[in-house]
Structure formats: C-alpha cells, structure tokens
Amino acid sequence: MIRSLGPVAFLLFSLTGALAQADAGLFGDQGVSPQTVRQGSLGNCYFYASVAALAETQPELLRQAIRRGEDGVLRVGFADGKYETVHAEDVQFARDGGFDLSEGVWVAVLFRGYAQRTLRTVLIESVNKSTLLPPLKSLTTGVIGSSDLVLLAYDRAIRSQIDQSGTISRKGLKTQLRKELDSVPLLGTWRDRIVELVDSSGFFESLAAQVKANGELFGAYRAAGSGGLSERVLSAFTGDAHSYEIKKRDGTVAAMSLALQRHQAVVAWTGESQANFLSNSNKAQSLLEKDADSWYVPGHAYTVLAVNSALGTVTMRNPWGDHPAPGGEFTLSLQSFLSAYIGFSTSASGPG
C-alpha cells in the first residue's frame, strides 16, 4: 500500500522556492549520463534502461526535455509537443520511497512526467469506453486533457490505494478521489461528475485494467515485462521507435551497430525466465551457463552501450547500477548476448 500524498490543494501554493533550492541538484555533479541512472524498487527497468540509453546517445534531448517555467515549476516536454507539469512533492515522494536512486533528480522528474502522460491517455481512453453520452464524453475528456489538477487528483488517488500487484478498488478510488478533489477549483457539479465517473459502466473496468498493466508507474511493486515497453518510452521522447526480435546474429549485430552509429538509443531485454537462455546455449557454450547468474536477470531491460563487431562483443549496462559490478556495466561475447537476449528497441535518429 502506498501512503496518501495529501490534498491536491497543496499544489495551489507556490513551489518556486522549493524548486529553486533543488535546482542545483537537478542534474547532479555528473549531469545527464547513463552512469548516473539507477533504478529503485519498482519494476520499471524498461524506463530506466531507456533513459540511460538516451543519456548515452542524446543527452541534450533529455536535458532540454526538462523545462522550468517562469513560475519555477518543472515541466517535462515530449516529442509530440505536449508536456506534463511535475511537482516537487511528487519527485520527493519517489526519492523518499526508494523508487529512484539516480544521481540528481532529473530521472525522477522524467519518470513522473512520463507516468502522468500515460495516466492522462488511460483516463481519456477509459472515458471513451464508458457508457456516457457522446456530448458528455467530449466535455469530460476535454477537462481531463486540459486540467493538471484533475489529472493529479486521479494520480494521487490511485497511488494512495494501489496494491503491490497493481490492483485498485472502485470504492477506494472513489473515496480517495473525492478527498483529493475537495479543494480543486471546479464547479461543484463538475467535481461530482468527475467522482461519479468511477461508477459509469465501462470506465472503471478499463481504468483498472490499464492501471494494472502499468502498475509500476503508480507505485506498485509488480515486476513489469520489458518487451515493447522500452519502445513506448523511446517513442515518447524522440517521436519514433521500433522493436525487433533477436533471431539471427548478422541482422541483430548490424542493426544495433548502425543504430548506435546514428546516435540512436538501443535497449535490449531478456526472456521471462532463464530457461530461454539455457535452451539457446549448447555444449560449446557451457561456460555461459556457469557464470550466467553473475550478469543475467530474467525479464529485465538493459542499455546497449556499444557493439564491437571486430572483437565480437556487446557492452551492456544494468539499470540497477550495481549488478554485476559497481556502475552496472559489463561486456559479453556476441555468442552470450544472442543466447541471452530475445529482443531490442531503437529510438529515432539522434543528432550527427
């Protein structure tokens, strides 16, 4: 269970002073680099591996994605021109909860922005799947699409009562949502309408299913599968991304090498169990099985830092930052890589 963050009304007060004080620690001493990205206790390896990959290939893109308005509030911008406002209290919540262990708070800021972006999409899709009349659907999605405080009320209500598997209850969500909306500057009829939306047929079912599928974005400890999720993150920040199965050595090596030459981020992931890795290993690869536990994590996403075709190696980084060694970096033979990893994602082309 995740603790409540308190009424949304707190956000009506200026956070300029707190944010200005934290500005010096925004990017940390090392700035935007993959070495400073460290995943915390949530199953969001795909996000941290993707951000580390972008930090390696397009660090300025991430730096520019975090903007500070004249009001001092941080905003995260995305490739489609949309942005999400990120509040200091929510970043501190992620840090205090051990959900982000990175140097500086820039990764936590990006994560909160991405989580809010995802929730906004989820809410709008859930409204459209409800039984509300079309005109009311249009009005409701308009409010959700334009109101940061309504979005944050839902976000905090979900985070206050989601369980470790990513499950939320209709009653618990409705009760907490009303508390969060108590002082949001909405007309009383609209405040009631937003709360009663939870009881609208089709809305809660869709919302609950999509929250469960993205539970780690809201504080659930559910370990998320990695396949395809890194593509969404890379696409959000660069505008385009693609995922591929790892089948043939030549095609995989050539594709990853070309992507890195073009300053594209590359993220690779393992299967859900070691069985996939071991089944791909043969007697000539028996040494791989002996040391697999030192670097292999099933159902996990990794940043691909370099491919050396001449030496036949791939340099990876675990977003945990401390496995298999301090810093999380390690180098595998292509043989080991192709046996252990089942897919990879690449972002849109970077500068240069």
What residues in the chain have per-residue pLDDT under 50?
A: 1-22, 283-284, 286-287, 289, 352
DSSP for residue 92: H
Q: pLDDT per residue over 274-291, tens digit each?
A: 666 665 555 345 445 456
> Shortest CA distance to 351 belongs to which of 222, 242, 265?
265
pLDDT at 281: 54
Residue 338: partners with Cβ closer than 8 Å, 6 or more residues away: 246, 249, 252, 280
Tokens 């995989």, residue located: 252
pLDDT at 120: 97
CB contact at 8 A, 94 and 159: no
- What is the dotted CATH code of the domain comprising 241-347? 3.90.70.10
Give the separation between CA 42 and CA 102, rounded to whole angstroms: 13
Beta carbons within 10 angstroms of residue 135's beta carbon:
8
pLDDT at 226: 58
Domains of the chain, residue spans: 8-218, 241-347
User: Angle 232-95-207 (CA atoms, 0-180°, nearest 5)?
Assistant: 45
- Residue type for position 232: R
Buried-exposed string 38-57: b where 16+ CB fall within 10 A, e elsewhere: bbbebbbbbbbbbbbbbbbb
Give the separation between CA 79 and CA 139, rounded to whole angstroms: 26
Query: Model's pTM, two decimal places?
Result: 0.88
CB contact at 8 A, 119 and 154: yes
Give the separation between CA 218 and CA 115, rounded to whole angstroms: 7
pLDDT at 182: 86
For residue 54, CA distances in Å to 118, 124, 154, 191 come to: 19, 29, 30, 40
